[in-house]
Structure 1
Amino acid sequence: MLHVHPITSLDHPALQPYLTMRRQEAHREQGIFVAEGEKVVRRLLQSDLGVVSLLVHEPWLEKLEPWLAPRTEEIHAFVAPKAELEKLVGYPMYQGLLAIGRIPAAATFSDALQRNPSPRLFVAVDGLGNAENLGSLVRNAAAFGAQALFVGETCSSPWLRRAVRASMGTIYDLTVVEPVSLATTLQNLRLAGVRCVAAHLRANQRTLSQTDLRGDCCVVFGNEGHGVSPAVLAVCDEAVLVPMANGVDSLNVGSAAAVFLYEAVRQRGLV
């Protein structure tokens, strides 16, 4: 059930997450994240994730009703003219629609294996600090059927506002594991029969077309500037490159993920 509250004062405690949009680490500590824009908010409302509240320009209220139909809990929507909403959050709002969602309970290594049947297709990220690049990778991972995302300890969070926005809300569909040590987790994946393949530029490595991705595998992507770290690379089964034209030495990490994962689903006969 949707409860609508016209904004008459900024003192309402439920507005605090919107007043602290630039304090995203504080949001993480509270176990919440920001969803922004029509598609990202709609996916949130239609997902299994918890919803704390909505901040909307009044014309959105009618559209929200069918999106909320499957939900039984009370959800509070705070309403104001778009110009007032922009003053509240501190930046221009293209669509005038935000939501606060609840970050799901942390998944474990075992959850990733138990929830997802073989042939498994996992993605791991190492040292990826740009939230928008991480979100782009997540979107491509979801598009090509990746089931779980392992976020290394030196990475940006996939629940930051810009990451969620760049993912177009597809982060809601993945099992997200944030291990204390990505290298140790990859070793454990290998022990469980999951091959770990690093996307990395190295002179003696195989090309993507020479690599068998049909069985359980986890594709590891690194920092765009330096690639996969030596510690993580050392525990992978192999390093694989995408051949490129002369003069081009790398791809954007989101593009690299799309190329690798398309090849995986192609080999599995899914496209």
Structure 2
Amino acid sequence: MRSLEQAITSVANPRVKGWAKLSERKHREKEGRFKLEGIHLTAEALAAGWPVECVVFDEGIGIPAELLPYAEREDAGGAAWIPASPDVIAKCSETETPQPVFAVAKKLPLEKEALFEAAASAGPVVVLDGVQDPGNVGTIVRSAAASGARAVVLGKGTADLYNAKTLRSTMGALFHVPVREADLAELLPEARARGATLYGTSLQATASCYDCDLSGGDAWLLFGNEGSGLSPAVNALVDRPIIIPMTGKAESLNVAMAATVLLFEAQRQRIFLGLNA
């Protein structure tokens, strides 16, 4: 087992103050780091080989059993394992009942060019335009990872991926699908120029999502704000407005639900129908 660092017991410790600051978006963006609260998210990051700087755990409880295999591997990355007092854990937590462990990880930038390098079996690119609810953003990232999407793009006004609520909603899926922030006014016209087809859901659309070819890596699925939908500027760029048919009685679907339906329809076409084989 790798050696542990000296226990940190004071909330006045400079490292603790630095970790606590990562609760604020401006500090996360400045430092390129974020916190992962809890055993599950920490384990997911370590399992995925994500660059984790340190794992901080309650000194009175010890390293959770789920994380021991990673702590015992001498060759497992460069994460430091740091015991800390419950006060330190609480200081760095954003939940009322802190879990006995958190980690600090580095952000991984996604180069724009990767969005256009689609293999034959690649899934669609998911684009979020002003989706404000962290739970919705996290759920969409989770569905994107589960269905084999190529990437998720977060436009202006969309909830921060590294917000604690968003991270919890992803259930660790952010470690399995590339995510990038971008200026949609610049990115989407370039995507169209490079062969992408931009699909946007609309209750006024006449084309059913089941009649459209969503299987290829050139399909970009655009989803807008929970209340107002796509912004006028982004909506003007949509190539094909599509609708999810509803045979029951409901005004519309939640944005995360709509995204999940389209992502798994794209997966069905891609894998089970072999439309882009």
Which bracket does the TM-score occupy, shorter chain normalised?
0.7 to 0.9
Cα deviation digits, residues 203-257 of structure 1 (max 9, x gap): 2431211211122211111111111112111112111111225542222222111
**Is the alpha carbon distance of 1:250 and 1:267 closer, same or farther for their aligned partners in structure 2, counting shifts above 3 Å?**
same
| Corresponding residue for residue 42 of structure 2 | 41
| Alpha-carbon distance between aligned partners in 1 of 2:237 and 2:29, rounded to the nearest angstrom | 30
TM superposition shift of 1:26: 1.8
Asked if the contact 1:196–1:218 (Cα under 8 Å) also holds between the matched residues in 2, the reply is: yes
Tell me how large the CA RMSD over aligned residues is.
2.3
TM superposition shift of 1:197: 0.8
TM-score by length of 1: 0.88
Pairing partner for 2:128 from 110, 125, 129: 125
| 1:151 partnered with 2:154 | yes
| Corresponding residue for residue 80 of structure 1 | 85
Structure 2 residue identity aligned to 1:219:
L
**Is the alpha carbon distance of 1:25 and 1:235 closer, same or farther for their aligned partners in structure 2, counting shifts above 3 Å?**
same
Asked if the contact 2:39–2:64 (Cα under 8 Å) also holds between the matched residues in 1, the reply is: no
| Corresponding residue for residue 11 of structure 1 | 12
| Alpha-carbon distance between aligned partners in 1 of 2:272 and 2:3, rounded to the nearest angstrom | 40
| Alpha-carbon distance between aligned partners in 2 of 1:37 and 1:148, rounded to the nearest angstrom | 25
| Alpha-carbon distance between aligned partners in 2 of 1:87 and 1:264, rounded to the nearest angstrom | 43
| Corresponding residue for residue 30 of structure 2 | 29
Aligned residues: 266
| Corresponding residue for residue 195 of structure 2 | 193
For residues 146-225 of structure 1, what are the structure 2 equivalents within 5 Å?
A: 146-180=149-183, 182-201=184-203, 203-215=204-216, 216-225=218-227
TM superposition shift of 1:47: 2.4
TM superposition shift of 1:62: 5.0
Cα deviation digits, residues 89-142 of structure 1 (max 9, x gap): 3642353221111111x323212223x423432111001112221111100111
Query: Unpaired segments of 5 or more residues in structure 2?
Result: none
Higher mean displacement: 149-158 or 243-252: 243-252
| Alpha-carbon distance between aligned partners in 2 of 1:194 and 1:2, rounded to the nearest angstrom | 50
TM superposition shift of 1:84: 6.1
TM superposition shift of 1:31: 0.9
Structure 2 residue identity aligned to 1:211:
C
Higher mean displacement: 66-75 or 250-259: 66-75
Query: Unpaired segments of 5 or more residues in structure 1?
Result: none
| 1:141 partnered with 2:149 | no
**Is the alpha carbon distance of 1:151 and 1:138 closer, same or farther for their aligned partners in structure 2, counting shifts above 3 Å?**
same
TM-score by length of 2: 0.86
Asked if the contact 1:135–1:163 (Cα under 8 Å) also holds between the matched residues in 2, the reply is: yes
